[in-house]
Amino acid sequence: MAKAGTRKAQQGWWGLALVAGLIFAACNTAEPPDSLPILHLHGTPYQRGFQHGSAMASEVRSFYTTMLSTSLLPYLNRQQPDIAAFLKSYDSIQHPEYGSGQFSYQLLSESALELEKSIPADLVAEMHGIADGASVPYMQVLMLNTFVDSVMGARAITQYLQQIQSPVATQFSLAGAASATASGDGIDNDEDGQTDELAECTLPYAPTAVATLRDVPLNSAFRFVLKDADGIDQSSVRVQLVVAGKLRTYTQKDAQLAMTLQGSGSKPDPTAPLEVVLTPPEPLPAAAIVTIAVQASDAKLVLDPPPAKARTMRIEQVTVTTAGFGKPLPAAANLGLSDGTTQPTSLAFALRKAATKDGGTLLAAHFSLLDAGTSHKHCVIQIHQPDSGPPFAFVGWAGLAYGFSGMSARGVAIAANHSDTLNNPLVAAVKKKLLLAKLVDTGIPVGFAVRQALQAAKTAKEAADMLVATPQSFGWNYLVADASGDLRAVEALGGIEASAPHTVAYPADARDSAGSYLSSVRGDDVLTTVHYRALADDFTGKLLGFNLQPQRFWDTYYYASLRTYANLAHEIDKGYGMFDAKMLQGTLRTASLVDPHDSMQASIADLAARVLWVAAGQVPATNANFVKVTLPAWSEP
């Protein structure tokens, strides 16, 4: 293991970026490093930063250059028309400082300077050390360490605005004879407390993690109502049917799919709501779980920015159970199947006592967003040995003073996964100043929240309490564990207003309103992906005349996260009582849990042994060997 200051700089250029609304993308020709760099950093915060910057000077410089000039800034500049249409502060005519391609740089630098006000002084000193060691301006390092939260917040707003301008599903129901049959079957199919009421199986569409209707007739047909101000392009409509684990897609050319404009007469209104009815080609099997999903584009092309394109809704899906299933709605998860357009999300899980082979505590995480051939080549393990306080280690990237998973010599481990939400400081700013607002982020960036907990917390509860008290700059799902076996999930929000939901923490044995484990398989484990569970209703409100909705209504990761969570729960249940670090490496490599394109890094922490294993440097990260590092022993003074 080469020590800081002696490690030879890796050659090549690389960057960190955000493309198509995601993070960490760029095109480059750099070769991956021969091995995963490990930095041993000693001394004061500034000294450790200086060692970091000196050891990886070329990477820090190229990271900034490539991220800004090649990927991130051009992407954000393309979002300016959508943002400026609502926020007049970014109109380049009225505010020329945001014109001439300067919009994205101004956006990120303004947020960076605001976020800096909340970053603890020791971490600011460390960033100054990185800048001096790499011989780059401090502002560049500050932007590298703050842009993730700023971009995620801005992306959430633009993504939501784009989604509500795309087609939306407003209603779901059974169609044809099945509707009448269900209304007289003696079953409360929608579990609303009323049995066989009129139009029992006609419901406003609402995304949910579980089934929407139970014990429907085997001859059921399914109807969605889609609405868009510009009308629906009927040739773009796709309906998927998942039965017995098999997916089939229907389009306009299929006889099983019928489409009718509501109110159609001699002169149909092309902008009227569109009824889409799927009649399965054969009766559904009894006692089965069936998922129906729909997607469509509107009939108007968006010209700015080019190229011209229609707005396309995310895939919306509904799950039902068929006659004979006989169980309540929560017994059937709304999972469906991926059609290849989505991949497994980031995940983290912790195990203890009955779940592990020796009764010890383990934490595992696999972080992915959008690698696009670059970020995986520049991961680095940082082992910090401060002048005071326990040693700690994490996996991150060159130039960043943090990572998304790590462990301290006290036996406290933490992992963080992003969780899209409109309950964030940028939305709070827009609500306050409306059209004159700026997308200037506030709070503490996610990585620094992790750093603070790693440095200071003696237990998982202390770490969770710190994260709850931290002013969050975006939405995150944290998982914390300690060597004694305490496991806690933290669902973090920006606390947009006093009446809105706020960050919550809960232990492994927490249960939901139905009495089921909230985020656990058997009670000696906690698992999390990128959707909220305790905070499923993370925010509702109004913004610029629009009704703001919870995460599940608009987040493009939502259904993929449900599937990843279910697959992870299955793997944990299958291996209960047998898990050790080696077995966890195999679990993290399970195909249903790995994004084959955008995986970035994977880690495993054995808390009592103070051992961290990290896989990175390939795509997916779990194709790489796990590198083992051991933290020095630590005794409390």
DSSP code per residue over 563-577 = HHHHHHHHHHHHHTT
Parallel/antiparallel/unpaired status of strands 309-312 and 316-322: unpaired
Per-residue pLDDT reduced to its tens digit, 441-452: 999 999 999 999
Tokens of 285: 């099997």
Q: Among 98-102, 378-382, 422-426, 499-503, whose mean pLDDT is lowest?
A: 98-102
| Stated pTM of the model | 0.91
Q: What pLDDT is attached to residue 148?
A: 87
Q: Which residue has the tokens 């300016």?
A: 80
Q: Among 154-158, 250-254, 457-461, whose mean pLDDT is lowest?
A: 154-158
Q: What pLDDT is attached to residue 68?
A: 62
**Top-confidence residue, 79 or 201:** 201
Per-residue pLDDT reduced to its tens digit, 103-129: 888 888 999 999 999 999 999 999 999
Amino acid found at 199? A
Rounded average pLDDT over 267-296: 95
Q: What pLDDT is attached to residue 69?
A: 64
Position 354 pLDDT exceeds 80: yes
Which contacts of 75-82 are long-range, i.e. CB under 8 A and separated by 24 or more positions?
75/17, 75/18, 75/19, 75/20, 75/104, 76/18, 76/103, 76/104, 76/107, 76/108, 76/151, 76/154, 77/101, 77/103, 77/104, 78/305, 79/154, 79/158, 80/104, 81/304, 81/305, 82/158, 82/161, 82/162
Rounded average pLDDT over 582-608: 95
Q: What pLDDT is attached to residue 1?
A: 36
Position 602 pLDDT exceeds 90: yes
Query: CB neighbours of 275 closer than 8 A, spacing ≥ 6?
Result: 223, 224, 225, 259, 260, 261, 262
Where b means 16+ CB within 10 Å and e means fewer, 374-399 reads bbbbbbbbbbbbbeebbbbbbbbbbb
618 by Cβ neighbours in 10 Å (0-12 / 13-18 / 19+) ranks as middle
- Name which of 517, 430, 509, 414 is nearest 462 in CA terms: 414
Report how far residue 327's alpha carbon sits from residue 336's, in angstroms, rounded to the nearest whole number: 18
Tokens of 623: 């194709």
Rounded average pLDDT over 2-27: 31
Q: 298: pLDDT confidence band, cut at 50, 70 and 90?
A: very high
Helices 45-55, 121-134: axis angle to 10 degrees equals 30
**Top-confidence residue, 65 or 605:** 605
Q: What pLDDT is attached to residue 141?
A: 96
Contact between 316 and 562 under an 8 Å Cβ cutoff? The reply is no
Position 25 pLDDT exceeds 90: no
Q: 420: pLDDT confidence band, cut at 50, 70 and 90?
A: very high
Tokens of 496: 């947009």
Beta bridge mates, 350 = 363, 526
Q: What pLDDT is attached to residue 32?
A: 44
Position 317 pLDDT exceeds 80: yes
Amino acid found at 79? Q
In the 3-class helix/strand/coil scheme, how is 189-233 assigned residue by residue? CCCCCCCCCCCCCEEECCCCCECCEEEECCCCEEEEEEECCCCEE
Contact between 366 and 602 under an 8 Å Cβ cutoff? The reply is yes
The structural domains of the chain, ordered by start, are 38-161+344-630 (3.60.60.10), 167-313 (no CATH)
- Running DSSP on this structure, what letter comes out for residue 552? G
Amino acid found at 485? G
Position 33 pLDDT exceeds 70: no
Q: 349: pLDDT confidence band, cut at 50, 70 and 90?
A: very high
Report how far residue 637's alpha carbon sits from residue 635's, in angstroms, rounded to the nearest whole number: 6
Q: Among 105-109, 315-319, 519-523, whose mean pLDDT is lowest?
A: 105-109
Q: What pLDDT is attached to residue 372?
A: 52
Q: 374: pLDDT confidence band, cut at 50, 70 and 90?
A: low
Query: CB neighbours of 558 closer than 8 A, spacing ≥ 6?
Result: 207, 531, 551, 552
How confident is the prediction for the chain on average, in pLDDT? 89
Q: What pLDDT is attached to residue 344?
A: 95
Q: Which residue has the tokens 């990886």?
A: 56
Percent of the chain's residues with pLDDT above 70: 92
Position 29 pLDDT exceeds 70: no
**Top-confidence residue, 297 or 636:** 297
Per-residue pLDDT reduced to its tens digit, 468-481: 999 999 999 999 99
Beta bridge mates, 213 = 320
Q: What pLDDT is attached to residue 104?
A: 83
